[in-house]
Amino acid sequence: MRAKAEIPQEGEDSLGVFERPLSPGFIGPWTVNDLVVVLTQVPSAFLSGLSGVYLMAGTARQRRLRSLTFGIYASARIYLFPVPQESLAQGWPSSSKPSEIKRYTKFGATVESSGRRGATVTFDERNLRRFYLYDVLLHELGHHVDRFGAARNAERYALWFSEFQHARL
C-alpha cells in the first residue's frame, strides 16, 4: 500500500498515512488531509517511532458486530476503522456512564436513554469526523506515547492524552 500523505519527522523517515478505498455502505468520517492537519499540530516527539496511520476499508464482519471498534494501536501503527452507514443512522448502544456520555456529547452526539440497555448515541457525519480526529486518533496516539507504560493504566492514560491534546489544539 502506498502512502497517501507523509508527515516529515526530524531525523527519521516521514510518517505515512495510508488509505484503503472504503467498502460500500461504510462511512470514513475523515480525509487524509484531516489527519495530516491534526498530526502536524501534535508535538513531533509524540510521533517518533510511529510507523504509519492506516485508514481501513470496512468489512462484513464489522457490519455484523453489535459494538463498534473505532481504532486500535498495534505494532507502532494506528488503525482507524470506518462506521457502517446503518450504525450511524441507528445510533450506538452505550452504557449510561457519565464519563462515556460526556466523551460523545462534547463532539455533538445526541444521547437518549434506552432504559435497561443504557443509552443510544447518535452522530451526524460532521460531528463523527470531529470525534474521530480529536478523540479516536489522539487516543490511539496516546497508546503509542505510553507504549512502555503499565498495561493496567494504558486506557486511562490514552483517555487523558486525547483529552489533553484536544484541549491544547
**Domain assignments of the chain as residue spans, ordered by start:** 5-168
Backbone angles phi, psi at 58, to 5 degrees: 100, 140
> Over the stretch 40-86, which tens digit does the pLDDT of each residue have?
999 999 999 999 999 999 998 888 887 788 999 999 999 999 999 88
Instruction: Read off the pLDDT of each residue in 118-137 and give the average, rounded to a whole number.
Output: 90
Specify the pTM.
Answer: 0.89
Contact between residue 28 and residue 4 where contact means Cβ atoms under 8 Å apart: no
Contact between residue 83 and residue 104 where contact means Cβ atoms under 8 Å apart: no
Q: What is the distance between the alpha carbons of residues 13 and 7, in angstroms, rounded to a whole number?
A: 9
Alpha-carbon torsion 31, 33, 34, 39, what sign? positive
pLDDT band, very low/low/confident/very high, at 17 (cuts 50, 70, 90): very high
Mean pLDDT of the chain: 88
